[in-house]
Amino acid sequence: MNVLLVGCGFTSTLTAFLLRSKYPNIHLTLWDKARGPGGRASVRRGPNETFVDLGTQFITTNNSIISKYSVIYNMLISSNNLVPMMCKVIGMRESPDDKHFIAPNGTSSVVKYLLDNSKVNDIKFGRRICTILPTGNVKCIDGYEQTFDLIIITNPIPQILELECPILQTGVLYYIKNQYR
């Protein structure tokens, strides 16, 4: 099966990791319009090896989620891509079971780590999609086309609505598309 993941943020790289774990023989392709991985978990680098997370600042979970996805959490924690957050956020409502983590090298480092460990077959940056047809044919604004068996879009809704996509004319996406016009 030939699968396209659209977007190279946290959701897409985690999806790629989970798909590769469950279906080792699928062909995974990942396209993103940006120049590199990260999505909304991007980091702005500054002088003297400083950086600022522009997206996600920390990850909140609980013991049952950590237990359910222990393979992922253990991998991220043992590689020091996630560490427990030691500070308190003023005004944040918490339950006693909440666990907070930060990524010492920025949240985009978690995305990059998952991407490296998902063994995606084909990664292309700078590939901006304009059309997805019901046949699985995907067209890019630069004229490139390819056909996939499955297309998983992890972009935010406003970006999805920019696509020329006949399948958007059905169900919930049709409703959402008309609400944003």
- The whole-angstrom separation of Cα 103 and Cα 43 is 11
Q: What are phi and psi of 111, to 5 degrees?
A: -60, -45
Top pLDDT among 97 and 58 is at 97
pLDDT tens string 61-89: 888 989 998 999 999 999 999 999 888 88
Given the DSSP bridges, would you call strands 43-45 and 59-62 parallel, antiparallel or unpaired? unpaired
Q: How far are the Cα atoms of 16, 31, 115, 154 from residue 121, in angstroms, in the given order?
A: 10, 11, 11, 18
Nearest to 162 by CA among 136, 134, 132: 132
Mean of all residue pLDDT scores within the chain: 81
Number of domains comprising the chain: 1
Hey, is 44 helix, strand or coil?
strand
Domain of residue 79 covers: 2-179
Enter the DSSP assignment of 143: S
Here the CATH number for the domain that contains residue 115 is 3.50.50.60
Question: For residue 180, what pLDDT is reported?
Answer: 46
List the single range of 41-45, 76-80, 85-89, 139-143 with lowest mean pLDDT. Answer: 41-45
Beta bridge partners of 3: 28, 150
Angle between helices 107-118 and 70-78 (to 10 degrees): 110
What is the model's pLDDT at position 122?
93
Q: Give the integer Cα–Cα distance in Å for 25 and 77.
A: 27
- pTM attached to this predicted model: 0.77
State mean pLDDT over 26-44. 77
Given this model, what pLDDT does residue 156 score?
A: 67
